[in-house]
Amino acid sequence: MTPLLSVTELSTWLNLKPKTIYDWVETERIPYRKLGSRVLFCPLEVQLWLNTLQKGPRVVEKDDWETPSATKR
């Protein structure tokens, strides 16, 4: 099971400000889940969503959706 990402983790992964992530959640632009007051993200769902924003078809490989904590950069 892939762990869910927090806003901070997702903003680091996508190299965006947390406010941008919160704005996308508020407008329901990005797939997310609520656990109490926490907003969490499934890396695979986010990757699939990102793929829909790209031009042309793209195949998602398992290595593409590893969590940031699972890969060393």
In a domain, 15, yes or no: yes
Cα dihedral 33/34/35/41 (nearest 10): 30
Structural domain boundaries, residue 15 = 7-70
- Residues of the chain short of pLDDT 50, as ranges, are 71-73
Asked whether residue 43 is domain-assigned, the answer is: yes
pLDDT of residue 16: 95
Structural domain contains residue 19: yes
Query: Is residue 35 a part of any domain in this protein?
Result: yes
Q: Is residue 2, in this structure, part of any structural domain at all?
A: no
The count of structural domains within the chain is: 1
- The per-residue pLDDT for 11 is 96
d(CA 48, CA 45) in angstroms, rounded, equals 5
Look at residue 53 in the predicted model and tell me its pLDDT.
83
In a domain, 1, yes or no: no
Q: Is the residue at 64 inside a domain? A: yes
Q: What pLDDT is recorded for position 73?
A: 43
Domain-embedded: residue 49: yes
What pLDDT does residue 52 have?
86
